[in-house]
Amino acid sequence: MDIYATSFSATMDFLAKGEVPMDLPASLDNHGTMAYRTFYNGILSSTVPDLRFGHMFDPIVLSPADLVPLIEEDMSGRAVDAFDREFLAACREQVR
């Protein structure tokens, strides 16, 4: 996770110090930068066997009435914050 989180700043440090690896392209997009950072740090990728990509599906839209029990269930297993309370209250208000 550290490699991922520091990809941008590390690339900027390379450029500022003039220590860009010779095979690194002059400009990289986010995915390219991430690929080089992981490779140079010994993190190799491999193909997942039998992985097939299909079509994306549109998510279903839940009504506030559907959300209330799901929010309550989620909140029961963890510390509740102000956003949780406000979101639950707003959903309950819509149900009334």
Where in the chain are the domains?
A: 2-40, 64-95
Please answer whether residues 9 and 35 qualify as being in contact, where contact means their C-beta atoms are separated by less than 8 angstroms: no
User: Residues 7-31: pLDDT tens digits?
Assistant: 888 878 877 887 776 666 666 677 7
Has residue 69 got a pLDDT over 90? yes
Closest CA relative to residue 31, chosen from 23, 39, 19: 39
Helix axes 7-17, 30-40, angle to 10 degrees: 80
Query: What single DSSP character describes residue 27?
Result: S
State phi, psi for 51 to the nearest 5 degrees: -80, 130
pTM of structure: 0.41
Q: How far, in Å, CA of 30 to CA of 86, rounded?
A: 35
